[in-house]
């Protein structure tokens, strides 16, 4: 069978623009939005390892950690401690739903600004926390910030970028996320060595830096032509399009944006409309892609790499160091996606990365199983521990050029304007919900499922790879307002897209599609 892919989508135009400094700088600043998310992802795991932090807020976990050596799998299992990490994601889930209205009505940049602002206040609460209530309020504010930024930034980048480089530009968001993670891990490495409460306070308080970057960035950023048209500033939109494309010959793309906007004006309720059958492919994808992204199990590594490494018998310092190494590998490997996603396409990266993750996860599960068994006792030799770290790096590399960046890119580029903000909100909400679940349940799952946890995620990676193979059409180089044609030409989704949505007769599409 055709495997559900389209080699060349009928009727799709290719504007073929050059890269202008303006679009480059704009998207570079826009991508800062990923920093706040990344900083937080990277800081939590290390802070929850710091003894003064645990002693201050989670004395029960502290005592347990000090005493328990019988069962390695259950050393850190505490619902309250994980709630500290995961509360943020529930807040982000809620705020992403509000953010979609702000993004649509006021423009993408104001959601980014609000994101930076609430994150900034949250970082102050956390840095100065005196009790667990302040800590949790801070986390919730940080979560609001992340929800706003994650809802608006990927859409901003996808709309600003020239179609033939959209993948690379959008991946800037993921690069910023990982950069934030790496910086946070490095900061943790040093602050963990400070005596008393100052270490964790610095780690949590420094979240104000990426917050300020995105706030200031959002103030100076222009809005996207798509959003300007959507809000009635047609003339400004044309000028903006000409300036970011570096040519006055933008008529074709401009007309596509106008047409998309006209169509979107007939849609008064994006939330109700996204449920219509004609948006079924986008709805399914915006739910399944973030769900699968989280079910790769990546955040087991992101949040708990230091815990995992300690479980493997590494010392506390060596664990933080290993977490730093995996972060740097993830950062470098994300660039593989930046440079190949618009050439090889999204599908190739998804499929290759999926297979790589699958194999490494199974190998990690087997090794940990052999060493610790189901009882969770035993000692792991240096060579074996290093081998497991190497396997974790291979797994992380696979994620870094597939599900990591593509989990944000694909949902932000597949929806028509009229439902784009709502679809992106769903993407963030689903992503945050499952980030929350994994963060909340991982330590308990490790305690109960033991090494089987790695097989659990491997099963999902297997399913998602098949899903992509069958259900995701290739979207590389397709102008964002022309995406309906891609869906129309797909062997399965085509039936949901009405002919008038693509302006081509069904028979014609059938004939041209692979
Ligand atoms: C995911 C996060 C993950 C991060 C780093 C992002 O794309 O959404 O959940 O922590 O990549 O791996």
Shortest-distance atom of ligand 1 to CA 303: 10
Neighbours of 55 (CB within 10 A): 14
pLDDT above 70 for 6: no
Nearest one of 215, 201, 90, 78 to 141, comparing CA atoms: 90
Q: Please state, for a pLDDT cut of 70, what percent of the chain lies above it.
A: 90
Q: How many CB atoms lie within 10 A of CB 190?
A: 12
Cα atoms in the 13 Å half-sphere on the side-chain side of 366 = 8
Residue 169 sits at the vertex; the CA angle it makes with 122 and 328, to the nearest 5 degrees, is 65
Residue nearest to atom 10 of ligand 1 (CA): 299
Using most ligand atoms within 8 A of CB, pick from 299, 331, 424, 434 the residue to mutate for ligand 1. Answer: 299
Distance CA 59, CA 44 (A): 17
CA 121 to chain centre: 23
Structure confidence at residue 345 (pLDDT): 96
Residue tagged 């104000």 (tokens): 208
Q: Residue with the nearest Cα to atom 1 of ligand 1? A: 404
Nearest alpha carbon to residue 281 among 460, 488, 503, 464? 488
Which residue has the least CA distance to atom 7 on ligand 1?
404
Q: Indicate if ligand 1 lies below 6 Å from the C-beta of 177.
A: yes
Q: Which atom of ligand 1 lies nearest, measured to the CA of 407?
A: 7
In whole angstroms, what is the distance from residue 353 CA to residue 356 CA? Answer: 5
Give the mean pLDDT of 492-506: 80
pLDDT tier for residue 28 given thresholds of 50, 70 and 90: confident
Tokens of 242: 């000409």
pLDDT in tens, 182-221: 999 899 989 999 999 999 999 999 999 999 999 999 999 9
Answer yes or no: is the C-beta of 41 below 6 A from any ligand 1 atom. Answer: yes
- At 7, is the pLDDT very low, low, confident or very high (cuts 50, 70, 90)? very low
Nearest residue by C-alpha to atom 5 in ligand 1: 178
Confidence (pTM): 0.87
Name the band, by pLDDT with cuts 50, 70 and 90, for residue 63. Answer: confident
pLDDT tens-digit series, residues 113-157:
999 999 999 999 999 999 989 999 999 999 999 999 998 998 888
Tokens of 500: 């008038």
Nearest CA to ligand 1 atom 6: 404
Average pLDDT over residues 269-290: 92
Choice from 302, 410, 412 to test ligand 1 binding pocket (greatest atom count within 8 A of CB): 302
- Rounded Cα distance between 450 and 467, Å, is 27
The band of 12, judged by pLDDT with boundaries at 50, 70 and 90, is low
Quick one: pLDDT band at residue 378, thresholds 50, 70, 90?
A: low
3-class state of residue 8 by DSSP: coil
Distance from the CA of 303 to the center of ligand 1, in angstroms?
Answer: 10
Q: Which domains does the chain have, with CATH numbers?
A: 21-498 (1.20.1250.20)
Instruction: Calculate how far, in angstroms, residue 327's C-alpha sits from the geometric centre of ligand 1.
Output: 11
Q: Which residue's CA is minimally distant from atom 11 of ligand 1?
A: 404
As a whole number of Å, the end-to-end CA separation of the chain is 10
Mean local confidence (pLDDT), 169-185: 93
Residue 69 has a pLDDT of 56
Residue with the larger pLDDT of the pair 7 and 163 = 163
Tell me how far CA of residue 12 lies from CA of 200, 257, 483, in angstroms.
52, 14, 8
With CA atoms as reference, report the closest residue to 58 among 86, 87, 79, 88.
Answer: 79
Q: Which of 233, 232, 231, 253 is nearest to 242 (CA)?
A: 253
Task: List all residues 6 or more positions away from 176 whose beta carbon is below 8 Å from its beta carbon.
Answer: 31, 32, 33, 34, 35, 38
Inter-residue contact 204 to 138 (CB < 8 Å): yes
Q: What is the largest CA-CA distance in the chain?
A: 72
* Distance from C-alpha of 267 to C-alpha of 262, rounded to nearest angstrom: 9
Closest atom of ligand 1 relative to the 41 alpha carbon: 10
**Does 171 score more than 90 pLDDT?**
yes
Distances (CA, A) of 10 to 473, 512, 513: 13, 6, 7
Q: Is 299 in the pocket of ligand 1 (CB under 6 A)?
A: yes
Burial pattern 129-138, b for ≥16 Cβ within 10 A else e, equals: beeeebbbbb
Q: Which atom of ligand 1 is nearest to the CA of 298?
A: 12
Cα–Cα dist 402/397, whole Å:
9
Q: Is the pLDDT of residue 25 over 50?
A: yes
How big is the CA angle at 416 (ends 411 and 420), to the nearest 5 degrees?
A: 55
Cβ of 431 closer than 6 Å to ligand 1, yes or no, is yes
Tell how far the Cα of 65 is from the centroid of ligand 1, in angstroms: 27
- Pick from 444, 449, 434: which is nearest to 403 by CA? 434
Q: Does the Cβ of 302 fall within 6 Å of ligand 1?
A: yes
The pLDDT of residue 94 is above 80 = yes
Contact 205, 127 (CB under 8 A): yes
Q: How far is the CA of 57 from the centre of ligand 1 (A)?
A: 27
């Amino acid at each position: 069978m055709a495997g559900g892919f389209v080699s060349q989508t009928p009727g799709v135009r290719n504007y073929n623009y050059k890269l202008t400094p303006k679009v480059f700088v704009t998207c570079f600043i826009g991508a800062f939005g990923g920093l706040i998310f990344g900083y937080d992802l990277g800081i939590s795991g290390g802070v929850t390892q710091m003894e003064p932090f645990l002693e201050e807020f989670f004395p029960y976990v502290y005592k347990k950690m000090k005493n328990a050596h019988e069962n390695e799998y259950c050393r850190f299992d505490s619902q309250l401690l994980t709630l500290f990490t995961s509360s943020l994601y529930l807040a982000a889930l809620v705020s992403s739903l509000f953010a979609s209205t702000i993004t649509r009505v006021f423009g993408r940049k104001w959601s980014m600004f609000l994101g930076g602002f609430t994150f900034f206040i949250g970082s102050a609460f956390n840095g100065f926390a005196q009790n667990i209530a302040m800590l949790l309020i801070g986390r919730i504010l940080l979560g609001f910030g992340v929800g706003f930024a994650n809802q608006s930034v990927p859409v901003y980048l996808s709309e600003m970028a020239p179609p033939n480089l959209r993948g690379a530009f959008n991946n800037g968001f993921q690069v910023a996320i990982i950069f934030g993670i790496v910086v946070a891990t490095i900061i943790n490495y040093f602050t963990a060595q400070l005596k008393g409460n100052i270490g964790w306070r610095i780690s949590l308080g420094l979240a104000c830096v990426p917050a300020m970057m995105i706030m200031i960035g959002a103030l100076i950023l222009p809005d996207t032509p798509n959003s300007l048209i959507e809000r009635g500033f047609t003339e400004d939109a044309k000028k903006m399009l000409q300036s970011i494309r570096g040519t006055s010959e933008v008529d074709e793309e401009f007309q596509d944006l106008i047409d998309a906007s006209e169509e979107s004006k007939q849609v008064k309720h994006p939330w109700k409309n996204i449920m219509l059958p004609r948006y079924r492919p986008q709805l399914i994808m915006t739910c399944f892609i973030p769900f699968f992204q989280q079910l790769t199990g990546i955040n087991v590594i992101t949040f708990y790499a230091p815990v995992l490494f300690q479980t493997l018998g590494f010392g506390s310092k060596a664990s933080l160091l290993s977490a730093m190494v995996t972060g740097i590998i993830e950062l470098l490997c994300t660039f593989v996606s930046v440079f190949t996603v618009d050439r090889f396409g999204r599908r190739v990266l998804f499929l290759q990365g999926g297979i790589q993750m699958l194999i490494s996860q199974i190998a990690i599960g087997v090794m940990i199983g052999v060493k610790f068994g189901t009882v969770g006792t035993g000692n792991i030799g240096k060579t074996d521990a290093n081998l497991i770290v190497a396997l974790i790096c291979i797994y992380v590399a696979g994620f870094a050029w597939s599900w990591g960046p593509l989990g944000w890119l694909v949902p932000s580029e597949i929806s028509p304007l009229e439902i784009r903000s709502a679809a992106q909100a769903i993407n963030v909400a689903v992503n945050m919900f499952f980030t929350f679940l994994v963060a909340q349940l991982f330590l308990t799952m490790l305690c109960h499922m033991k090494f089987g946890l790695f097989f659990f995620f491997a099963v999902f990676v297997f399913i998602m790879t098949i899903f992509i193979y069958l259900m995701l059409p290739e979207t590389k180089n397709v102008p964002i307002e022309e995406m309906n044609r891609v869906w129309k030409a797909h062997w399965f989704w085509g039936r949901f897209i009405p002919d008038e949505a693509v302006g081509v007769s069904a028979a014609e599409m059938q004939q041209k599609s692979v």
